[in-house]
Structure 1
Amino acid sequence: MVSNANAFMILFALTFIVRYLRLIVNIVAYYTFKPRPLSTKPAFSPSDVTVIIPTVFSHSDEFIRCLQGILRCGAAEVIVVTANAKVALIQQCCEAHNITQARVIGVKKLNKRVQMVAALKKVQTSITVFADDDVFWPTSYLEYLLASFESEFVGAAGTRQRVRRDSSPNLWNFLGICYLERRNFNTGATNNIDGGISTLSGRTSAYRTIILKNEMFFDYFLNDHWLGRHLNSDDDKCLTRWTYTLGWDIALQFDEKAVLETTLESNTKFLHQCVRWARAHWRGNLTVMMKGNYWYSRHLWTLYAIYIAQFQTPALLMDGSLAWMLYQAMAGASENVRTVVFVAFSIWVLFSKIVKLIPHLIRYPQDVRFLPASVLFSYLHGFINIYALCTMHVTAWGSKNLTTQSNASEQTPLLHDAQQPEEQTSTNDAATVEGDGQDHQLSQSPISRCRRYSWTVTQAEDGDDTDGVVEE
């Protein structure tokens, strides 16, 4: 009996270390991650930046608020890229809000990757920033984001993200908040330790233009496949993989003044988003593991904390196994000792579920009422991961409407929204529009201060903010 108990205790200890060592180390790494300071003579300023916003333009009010916030940051140019059928509609909405700095261009058919490449070909600045159409930047966002590029080895950068908290949040809103808080924790910790990151989120990401504006990348990006299926989603996974493969570093700016906000579904559609992200997480990581080598040659901690840890799912199975091993190991102990041990273990498991949410709970302690449901959802998410693993062949966006038709039923409500300006933005620049492939204005600064690099990369083989989070 004693021999069996000792064997189970050793098994429990080893399994506990494999499961929770990354959490313990990541706690230290996350809470010691220092923001990148602003330089008195920065290598890049907002005038060196072109912001690209691919959009399906399904919510004009949210799009306008996003665009106004981005324009306030002072980039050299903002390019909005949509379907040809929606160019005039977006232009009318911009005019209704006195927005004249943004250039609107169109592509034949809505496809995020095609849209991004179409806009990339027109970029003439040193830094390119991709932004979703539902993000909200603070005014000084670009200055802090660009601080990451003070290192000549950094090829791409991102920042922390938060879901906007409703004035009276429901459970879905809180779960969305938890999702990005956990993501901030995971990515911040691994990036602080060895520079690794699973995905540089497409909600907003900055790249040296020289990395992306070339035919080699266009071919790689537009011909990305999974099991023979052409990928439209997973674009941020592909960009991350490309940047690391070329030998560049990716940096995160965790300064509080560079936190972007976004919105997620506040209803059952959030589950569809979780499934899509989880599928992209599996596809992206498995692609890296099959075709790349940076994940084990340069980022050893990330190898353990992300690529190996992704197989520790579902969490309910892992924690249930630990509880069973501990029960077997304590079989010969007194009832009081067993009670103390299991209470301590339960407290630890609960702590592991909420430690990543501490920054939010400090800001909004009243949200502690959602914690029981959040813990239950963290276990449910493990089964979402398994379902996603079994359905990786599904590459559709799921929650995105990629309709390109510009019909009356669509335009009427959007144009109605456009007549309700929420905020006026002063400007001195003339509006520019590109529709049906006709470019009416192109005036940008030349590329400067970009790092030279030897372009060697494996060609893509034939064959969505994809922010997969593996729950602790």
Structure 2
Amino acid sequence: MASQVLPTPHLTLDPFFEVNTTNAAPITTAPITPAEQFNYILMTLFMVFFVFRYLRTVVSIFTWFSWSAIPVAEKPKYTSKDVTVLIPTTFKTPAELMACIKRILACNPAKVFVITSEANVHLVKDMCILHNFGQHNVVVLGVEHLNKRKQLLRAIPLVETDITVLADDDVFWPDEKYLDYLLAVFEDDKVGGGGTRQRVHRNLRTDWVNMLGISYLERRVWNNCTTNAIDGSISTLSGRTAAYRSCILQSDSFRYKFLNDTWRGRPLNSDDDKFITRFTYGSGWKIVIQPDNRSVLETTVEADFPGYQQQCLRWARAHWRGNFTVMENETYWRSLRMWWGLYAIYVSMWQTPNILCEGLLAGLLYGAVGSPSVAPHFWIALGCWIFFAKNLKMLPHFCRYPQDMLYIPVLMLFSYYHGYLNIKALCTMTTTHWGNKQLSEEEKPRVRPDQIPDLVRNAKDFVDGYHEPTPGHIVVGSDYFQVHPTDEDKIVDILYHDSVETPDCTAQGIDTAGDASVGADETDMGPGNVADLLA
């Protein structure tokens, strides 16, 4: 039987889906014009620069909200009795100094050294007696010329404890447990220095200058804490309060280099905290920030705008000089151990002033997409991001004080002005003195004899009347700076009145070694009590 060939069925397609391959025109795309190519290049540059500028900001957000506090060990290696506190002071604001000492003594350190000019040694001592600090182990030292480095070196050889804490004369520790949190960083034997978070004291009647100071330190602390949490790097461990192993500060190498530190041949009187940070890292030690909310100290800034502006200039000069010195003389900053700090600190420092960086972003965006009327969504997104980035680091403060959001326009405007100050500081780095401090004037006796009673009363009123809590800290009682009750008028009469002789402090356990008028060397207050002087 012959095989039968079946016919091939004819498939009829729906005309809608049928493709005519015989008469179809080839698919072509319009060529990219040179103008479009240029726009693509500008958009690419915009994205690259945007990521370069704001990567640090994005990473810091996750770091800030993900870090954890360093716990205090049940049996810590170091306690407050292993700490000596050094307070170099110009004695410019006696009331703040007394409040500072009181808060430090509440933490019960082994010893406190107060270093001032020789002309003011006895006045500082007498004011400490007035505030009943005689029962603590407080030592007042004098130097011939005010210089923070020389003031510190005056006391460092006398330290006998394992840990030395350097504190400015305008800082207020939150409570008696502050040192416990600070010392927790030294549970790691590789840690040579440590610090805590800081805030500028917010006045009850705050003003725009006070807010500028608050904003500056909030941003600074945010940057330091986030970079330190990632890889242990930090631009500067602030000298407002910093703890170091005493063996670091008492080494011969440290003393020589600290005293002979220069910038382009000019001796440096400022930048002490920059140097100590650099020396600690360069010696192979780690530096750690304790981020615990319970260890936030307070400080003050200049109350007037000209003074605050000079402070900003001094800080900016120290920033440039310190970073350049590290990049020239050290290697740790570019090591793999500090990979994030290399970008966040030393590369990103060139992103100033803000108006130039944001102007460059705006110019690139304009070239890529056109004006705001052509592509409004791009411009709105950029504007919202810049607004968010400029106020991000103030969010913790605004959560505590939402009424301060009224100052946002001022803070944003000052951020652009601060860029100008940064450029000015870069061009005047050879100015190495303390910009807002006339030290030669403050070496003289603080007041005339007839002004002493008013000075003492004002200082005591400040300390007695301070009722504001440290931000972020739960208040226990109503007065952070409560002092022992004393009969102020009798104390003033006994200590300062011309017709009354100076009391015999030696009999009360108070050593008045030397005379202030001829350069008092040391004043050691032992267990004496002001009440004994009134008997």
Q: TM-score, normalised by structure 1?
A: 0.89
SS at match of 2:158: coil
Matched, 1:309 2:348: yes
Give how far 1:411 is off.
5.5
Alignment gaps of 5+ in structure 1: 444-472
CA contact (8 A) 2:271 2:318 kept: yes
**Alpha-carbon distance between aligned partners in 2 of 1:409 and 1:104, rounded to the nearest angstrom:** 18
1:384-399 to 2 correspondence within 5 Å?
Answer: 384-399=421-436
| 2:162 aligned to which of 126, 134, 146 | 126
Residues 122 and 13 from structure 1, CA distance in 2 versus in 1: closer, same or farther, beyond 3 angstroms?
A: same
| 2:269 aligned to which of 228, 232, 243 | 232
Matched, 1:291 2:329: yes
CA contact (8 A) 2:91 2:442 kept: no
Residues 142 and 6 from structure 1, CA distance in 2 versus in 1: closer, same or farther, beyond 3 angstroms?
A: same
Could you tell which deviates more after superposition, 92-101 or 350-359? 92-101
Give how far 1:87 is off.
0.6
SS at match of 1:42: coil
**Alpha-carbon distance between aligned partners in 2 of 1:334 and 1:78, rounded to the nearest angstrom:** 61
Give how far 1:7 is off.
0.6
> Which residue number corresponds to residue 366 of structure 2?
327
| 2:171 aligned to which of 120, 124, 135 | 135
1:152-191 to 2 correspondence within 5 Å?
Answer: 152-191=189-228
| 1:18 aligned to which of 45, 52, 62 | 52
CA contact (8 A) 1:49 1:75 kept: yes
**Alpha-carbon distance between aligned partners in 1 of 2:355 and 2:282, rounded to the nearest angstrom:** 35
**Alpha-carbon distance between aligned partners in 2 of 1:433 and 1:30, rounded to the nearest angstrom:** 49
Give how far 1:153 is off.
0.6
Q: For 1:167, give the aligned amino acid.
A: L
1:340-355 to 2 correspondence within 5 Å?
Answer: 340-355=377-392
> Which residue number corresponds to residue 416 of structure 1?
454
Q: Which has the higher contact order (CA 8 A, sep 6+)?
A: 1
CA contact (8 A) 1:89 1:415 kept: no
Deviations 1:142-179 (A, max 9, x none): 11100111111110000110001011211000010000
| 2:133 aligned to which of 92, 96, 99 | 99
CA contact (8 A) 1:52 1:81 kept: yes
SS at match of 1:53: strand
Give how far 1:35 is off.
1.1
Deviations 1:392-448 (A, max 9, x none): 01111121131355448456545532245334259xx944555546457699xxxxx
Residues 251 and 164 from structure 1, CA distance in 2 versus in 1: closer, same or farther, beyond 3 angstroms?
A: same
Q: For 2:48, give the aligned amino acid.
A: L
Give how far 1:214 is off.
2.1
Give how far 1:219 is off.
0.4
**Alpha-carbon distance between aligned partners in 1 of 2:432 and 2:114, rounded to the nearest angstrom:** 25
Q: Which runs of 4+ in 1 moved over 6 A?
A: none
Q: For 2:202, give the aligned amino acid.
A: R
Matched, 1:73 2:107: yes
Residues 442 and 98 from structure 1, CA distance in 2 versus in 1: closer, same or farther, beyond 3 angstroms?
A: closer
Two-structure CA RMSD over aligned residues (Å):
1.9
**Alpha-carbon distance between aligned partners in 2 of 1:410 and 1:232, rounded to the nearest angstrom:** 28
Residues 434 and 147 from structure 1, CA distance in 2 versus in 1: closer, same or farther, beyond 3 angstroms?
A: farther
Residues 300 and 434 from structure 1, CA distance in 2 versus in 1: closer, same or farther, beyond 3 angstroms?
A: farther
Using the aligned pairs only, state the percent identity: 46
Q: For 1:180, give the aligned amino acid.
A: L
Give how far 1:90 is off.
0.5
SS at match of 1:348: helix
Give how far 1:85 is off.
1.2
> Which residue number corresponds to residue 495 of structure 2?
none
**Alpha-carbon distance between aligned partners in 1 of 2:146 and 2:445, rounded to the nearest angstrom:** 15
| 1:148 aligned to which of 185, 191, 202 | 185
CA contact (8 A) 1:80 1:104 kept: yes
**Alpha-carbon distance between aligned partners in 1 of 2:372 and 2:54, rounded to the nearest angstrom:** 27
Deviations 1:6-50 (A, max 9, x none): 010001011111111111111111222211111001010000000
Give how far 1:352 is off.
0.5
Deviations 1:327-362 (A, max 9, x none): 11113x9956x1011001100000010000000000
Alignment gaps of 5+ in structure 2: 1-34, 465-481, 486-507, 527-535
SS at match of 1:23: helix
**Alpha-carbon distance between aligned partners in 2 of 1:251 and 1:405, rounded to the nearest angstrom:** 35
> Which residue number corresponds to residue 36 of structure 1?
70
Could you tell which deviates more after superposition, 50-59 or 396-405? 396-405
Number of residue pairs the alignment of both structures matches? 439
> Which residue number corresponds to residue 291 of structure 2?
254
1:210-229 to 2 correspondence within 5 Å?
Answer: 210-229=247-266
Could you tell which deviates more after superposition, 374-383 or 126-135? 374-383
Residues 144 and 256 from structure 1, CA distance in 2 versus in 1: closer, same or farther, beyond 3 angstroms?
A: same
| 2:408 aligned to which of 327, 347, 371 | 371
Give how far 1:280 is off.
0.4
**Alpha-carbon distance between aligned partners in 1 of 2:452 and 2:396, rounded to the nearest angstrom:** 37
SS at match of 2:383: helix
Larger Cα Rg: Structure 1 or Structure 2? 2
Q: For 2:216, give the aligned amino acid.
A: Y
CA contact (8 A) 1:89 1:411 kept: no
1:395-410 to 2 correspondence within 5 Å?
Answer: 395-402=432-439, 403=441, 405-407=443-445, 409=447
Q: For 1:359, give the aligned amino acid.
A: P
Deviations 1:257-290 (A, max 9, x none): 1100000012211111101100000000000000
SS at match of 2:133: coil
> Which residue number corresponds to residue 459 of structure 1?
none
> Which residue number corresponds to residue 246 of structure 2?
209
Residues 384 and 41 from structure 1, CA distance in 2 versus in 1: closer, same or farther, beyond 3 angstroms?
A: same
> Which residue number corresponds to residue 114 of structure 1?
150
Give how far 1:84 is off.
1.3
CA contact (8 A) 1:92 1:415 kept: no
**Alpha-carbon distance between aligned partners in 1 of 2:510 and 2:212, rounded to the nearest angstrom:** 40
**Alpha-carbon distance between aligned partners in 2 of 1:93 and 1:441, rounded to the nearest angstrom:** 13
SS at match of 2:324: helix
Residues 414 and 56 from structure 1, CA distance in 2 versus in 1: closer, same or farther, beyond 3 angstroms?
A: farther
